[in-house]
Amino acid sequence: MTERIRLTGVSKQYPGKKDAASAPALDNIDLSIQAGEIYGLIGRSGAGKSTLLRMINGLEAPTRGEVHVDGVDVQKLSQAELRTLRHSVGMVFQQFSLWNSRTVFGNIATPLKIAGWKEADIARRVGDLLDFVGLGGKAFARPRQLSGGQKQRVGIARAIASRPSILLSDEATSALDPQTTTEIVDLLRSVNREFGITIVVVTHEMDVISQLADRVSILSDGHIVESGDIHQILARPAHPVTAGLVGSYTRTSLTETERSALRERFHGRRISIVVDDALVDGPVLSRLAREHAVDFSIIQGGVARVKDQPYGQLSLALYGDDPAIDRFVSELASQTEVISW
């Protein structure tokens, strides 16, 4: 695997804050992003996500530490080299940042003109891009005539026009409704798949990250509090900030109040289990129940599929002999996480 982006010990303290000891926007960040992956950065507002993203194309300089893109220290680049870097790192924004006075064609063509492309090549490239983003008939529309989703399609076409190897997406779907968000998420996935572009997705929305990213880091107050495979993060969030972001997305884990109410209604033994591919691939639950002569009711839960892998959580009430239930629970616990309550 080729490393495309690396941050080592990166900190950022914005100047000019009244309180000199105020918390830095980023504090000692280490991060490695491989060529061709979609990497997610998630965190609440003010966590430092945009600051981190802007360092990758040299729009922001670290106070300490180093940012390498394709092995090159971004801080050591000359102005000319920095311009070249920005052609190989496209960016899309929450507010689209289109030029309102230019047509859709003009918006997408501008970075190519700046890069010195020939008119005929520009026309062909913009035509191909418009087809790719599904705006074939809109070349001469103005941004104000487009819906939010269409504007973001133009933003994406413009960002990938000069064939960058990296695309930075800063809350690209945050101004869009859920249906349009899904369409833009699909488009970003095809940008990654068809052109092999490495994508760094910044968002505060767990559902966006879970549909897009292979690996994620959770940012909180300028720190990476947790990193890992998206499925591992969703199924077993280790840090409270992660659990908060996952929990408000899935709403599958039970609060103590909900458990008390369920204890009143279901008098068998009660457990909650993590559902992932290990549990779904074989009919584990029904096989163990049959082998140990245990019955169960599903009393709460949900299983979603994230990028073709199941994950979720189920709560069960168990009925049978105590020793049989014990054996059932202990064998289930060797397959997945089990909480008895």
Binding Mg ion (rule: CB under 5 A), the pick from 7, 31, 43, 50 is: 50
Query: Count of CB atoms within 10 A of residue 284's CB?
Result: 17
Q: Could you tell me the smallest distance in angstroms from the CB atom of residue 217 to ligand ADP?
A: 12
Give me 139's structure tokens: 């070349």
Candidates 46-54, 248-256, 257-265, 284-292; binding stretch for Mg ion (CB under 5 A) = 46-54
DSSP per-residue letters across 156-220: HHHHHTT--SEEEEESTTTTS-HHHHHHHHHHHHHHHHHH--EEEEEES-HHHHHHH-SEEEEEE
Tell me the per-residue interface mask from 18 to 37 with ligand ADP, x by CB under 6 A, - otherwise: -------x------------
Element (DSSP H or E) covering residue 315 = strand 309-319
Candidates 48-56, 62-70, 118-126, 271-279; binding stretch for Mg ion (CB under 5 A) = 48-56
Tell me the per-residue interface mask from 35 to 74 with ligand ADP, x by CB under 6 A, - otherwise: --------x-xxxxxxx-----------------------
Q: Could you tell me the smallest distance in angstroms from the CB atom of residue 191 to ligand ADP?
A: 22
Round to whole Å and give the CA distance between 68 and 55.
Answer: 10
Question: Which one of Mg ion, ligand ADP, none is in contact with 25 (Cβ closer than 5 to 8 A by kind)?
Answer: ligand ADP
Q: Could you tell me the smallest distance in angstroms from the CB atom of residue 51 to Mg ion?
A: 8
* C-beta nearest to Mg ion: residue: 50
Q: Could you tell me the smallest distance in angstroms from the CB atom of residue 50 to Mg ion?
A: 3
Q: C-alpha dihedral over 99, 101, 104, 106, to 10 degrees?
A: -90
Are the beta carbons of 107 and 115 closer than 8 angstroms? no
> What phi and psi values does residue 105 have, to the nearest 5 degrees?
-55, -50
Question: Which one of Mg ion, ligand ADP, none is in contact with 310 (Cβ closer than 5 to 8 A by kind)?
Answer: none
Query: Which residue's CB is nearer to ligand ADP, number 25 or number 112?
Result: 25
Query: Which residue's CB is nearer to ligand ADP, number 14 or number 341?
Result: 14
3-class DSSP state for residue 225?
Answer: strand
Cα–chain-centroid distance for residue 331? 34
Tell me the per-residue interface mask from 253 to 292 with ligand ADP, x by CB under 6 A, - otherwise: ----------------------------------------
Element (DSSP H or E) covering residue 39 = strand 38-42
What's the Rg (C-alpha) of the chain?
24
Query: Which residue's CB is nearer to ligand ADP, number 45 or number 179?
Result: 45
Round to whole Å and give the CA distance between 184 and 150.
Answer: 9
Query: Which residue's CB is nearer to Mg ion, number 221 or number 277?
Result: 221
Which residues of this chain interact with ligand ADP, rule CB under 6 A?
Answer: 14, 25, 43, 45-51
Which residues of this chain interact with Mg ion, rule CB under 5 A?
Answer: 50
